[in-house]
Amino acid sequence: MSTTPPEPSVPPSSPSPMQVASTGALATLLAALAMLGPFSIDTYLPAFPAIQASLQASAIEVQQTLTAYMLSFAVMTLWHGALSDAFGRRNVILVSLAIFAVASFGCASVHSIHYLWGFRILQGVSAGAGVVVGRAIIRDLYAGAAAERLLSLVTMIFSIAPAIAPILGGWVVSYLSWRSIFLLLFVYTLVLFWACYKRLPESLPLDKRQPFSAEFLWDSYKKVFKSPLFHLKAGTIAFNFAGLFLYVSSAPAFITQHLHLGADQFGWQFVPSVGGIFLGALAANRLAGKLSVWRQVNIGFSFLVGAALFNVAYHAIWPPMLPWSVLPLFFYCFGMSLVAPGATLLVLDLFPTIRGIVASCQSASVTMLGAVVAGVVAPALDHSALTLALGQLAFAVIGMVLWYTGRHYWRAMTNQKQNAWETVG
C-alpha cells in the first residue's frame, strides 16, 4: 500500500470576520494598485525615441531608465511585505502611493537623462507595494477557492492595463509630449491614494503583526530563501512571466523593426497578450475549486509550451507577419494566467505567519528576473523574431521543469516524513 499522501492544494475556503462587504470592490481596488507596474513600464515604451531626442541621450541610456526602474522595483519588493507585516497593509500602501506621485511628477519635470534615471528609481521603489501587499491582503481575508477566485479576478481587471498602457502612451506622445505620460501617472496616483484612503481595509490587526527588527527579518528571509520549495514554486512563476516580459521589453524593436508598424500601433502586440491574460484568469476563476491546483497548472503549461513551440516553428520558416507573429502571445498568456493563481497561493502558504515577507520574496524573484531580461536578454535577442521566440521557449521550459521538480521534491519530502513517523511508531 502506497504511503504517498494526497497532492497538496490550496486550503479549503473559510470565512473571515474581516472580509469586506464587496469582493468586486476590493478586487477593483487591488487591481488598480497592481496597475501602477504596467502603467509605469508600458505607457512610456512608445516614447523612447521622443525621450532620446528631447534629453539628447543615447538609445541605451533611455533603455537603462527601464532597467533602473526594474532593479529598484525588485530590490524594494523584498521590503514591502516585511513593512506591511510590521506596520499594517494599508499604511504601507498609502505611503508608497505618496512617494510614487512625487516620483511621477519628477519624471515629467526632468531635463537630463540622469535625473530621469533617479526619478525612475524612486518610482520603482514605490510601485511594487500594491501588487505585493495586495496578495497578502487577499490571503489575509480569504482562503482556498475563494482566494484563488479573488486573485484571478484581480488579474482579470489588472490585465486591462498592459492592453491600454502602450496604446495610451502612443497617443499621448503623438499628440502631446512624453512628459504628459508621467503627468497622467501623477494624476492617476492621486486618485488612487484618495480611493485607498477611503476604501482600503486594514486586513492585519495589531495582534497579528510581526516585530520589525533586524534579527526577526534576518531569520524570516533566511527561512524563505533556504526553502527549496520556495525557489522551485516562485521560480515557476518568475520564468513564465519572463517569457512574456521578453516581448514587453523588446516591444519597440519587435513592433517597429520586425513588424514595421508605427508608434501608435503597439496594440497589435499588447492586445493579444492581454486578451490571453484576461481569458486565462477568467478560466482560472471558473475552475477554482473544481480542479486541483496541480491539474490546472498542467493544463496551463500545455498552452505555455505549445504556444512557444509554435512561435519558434513559425519564425524558423516564415518572416514576421501579422497575425501569426502575435497569435502565440495570446495562448502563452492564457496558459500563464492558468498557472499563476494556484502557484502563487501555494507559495504564500509555505510560511503563513510571515505571508507579507513571502509575497515580497516571490515578487522580487519575478521582478529581478524581469530586470535581467530587460537589461541583458532582450537587447541580446531582439535583433530577430526567431531569437525572441527561442528565448520565450527557453523560459517556458525552465518554468515547467521547476514546477515538476518542485512536485517531485514535495512528494519525496512528505514520504520521508511519513516513513520517519512510522519508524518512531
Tell me the domain boundaries of the chain.
23-205+225-416
- Compute CA distances 285 → 145, 151, 333, whole Å: 9, 8, 15
Give percent of the chain with pLDDT exceeding 90: 30
- Single-letter amino acid code for the residue at 95: V
Report whether pLDDT(353) > 70: yes
What confidence score (pLDDT) does residue 38 get?
79
Q: Is 288 helix (H, G, I), strand (E, B) or coil?
A: strand
Provide the 10 A C-beta neighbour count for residue 218. Answer: 10
How far is the C-alpha of 318 from the C-alpha of 311, rounded, in Å? 11
336, 272 Cβ separation under 8 angstroms: no
Lowest mean pLDDT among 67-76, 198-207, 224-233, 361-370: 198-207
Peptide bond into 323 cis (omega under 30): yes
* Residue 368: pLDDT band with limits 50, 70, 90: confident
- The CATH code of the domain at 23-205+225-416 is 1.20.1250.20
- pLDDT tens digits for 56-96? 888 788 878 888 888 888 788 778 877 888 888 888 899 99
- Mean pLDDT along residues 235-242: 94
Task: Could you list the beta-strand ranges (E) of 303-389.
Answer: none
How far is the C-alpha of 136 from the C-alpha of 182, rounded, in Å? 28
Degrees to nearest 5, angle at CA 148 with 33 and 209: 60
Report whether pLDDT(333) > 70: yes
* Residue 420: pLDDT band with limits 50, 70, 90: low
Q: Is 291 helix (H, G, I), strand (E, B) or coil?
A: strand
Q: Which grid cell is 85?
A: 507585516
Most confident of 157-166, 210-219, 236-245, 253-262: 236-245
Beta bridge partners of 288: 291
Chain mean pLDDT for the chain: 83
What confidence score (pLDDT) does residue 20 get?
44
How far is the C-alpha of 377 from the C-alpha of 253, rounded, in Å? 13
Q: Which grid cell is 72?
A: 529598484
392, 311 Cβ separation under 8 angstroms: yes
Q: Measured on CA atoms in the order 240, 246, 251, 254, is the torsion positive or negative? A: negative
How far is the C-alpha of 325 from the C-alpha of 311, rounded, in Å? 7
Q: Which grid cell is 126?
A: 514605490
Virtual torsion, Cα 30, 402, 367, 338, nearest 10 deg: -30
Give percent of the chain with pLDDT exceeding 70: 91
Phi, psi dihedrals of residue 326, rounded to the nearest 5°: -110, -15
In sequence order, which ranges of 88-141 are alpha helices (DSSP H)? Answer: 89-109, 113-127, 129-141
How far is the C-alpha of 142 from the C-alpha of 152, rounded, in Å? 13
Most confident of 290-299, 384-393, 401-410: 384-393
- 165 vs 232, residue with greater confidence: 232
What confidence score (pLDDT) does residue 246 get?
93
How far is the C-alpha of 79 from the C-alpha of 99, rounded, in Å? 15
Nearest to 189 by CA among 93, 109, 113: 93
Gyration radius (Cα) of the chain, Å? 21
* Residue 18: pLDDT band with limits 50, 70, 90: very low
Q: Which grid cell is 81?
A: 511585505
Place of cell 533586524: 214
Report whether pLDDT(162) > 80: no
375, 67 Cβ separation under 8 angstroms: yes
- pLDDT tens digits for 29-50? 888 888 888 788 878 877 888 8
Q: Which grid cell is 180?
A: 504628459
Say which DSSP state 256 is in: I
Nearest to 282 by CA among 326, 345, 334, 240: 334
- Compute CA distances 383 → 44, 147, 245, 387, whole Å: 21, 41, 16, 7
Lowest mean pLDDT among 4-13, 95-104, 193-202, 224-233: 4-13
How far is the C-alpha of 278 from the C-alpha of 337, rounded, in Å? 8
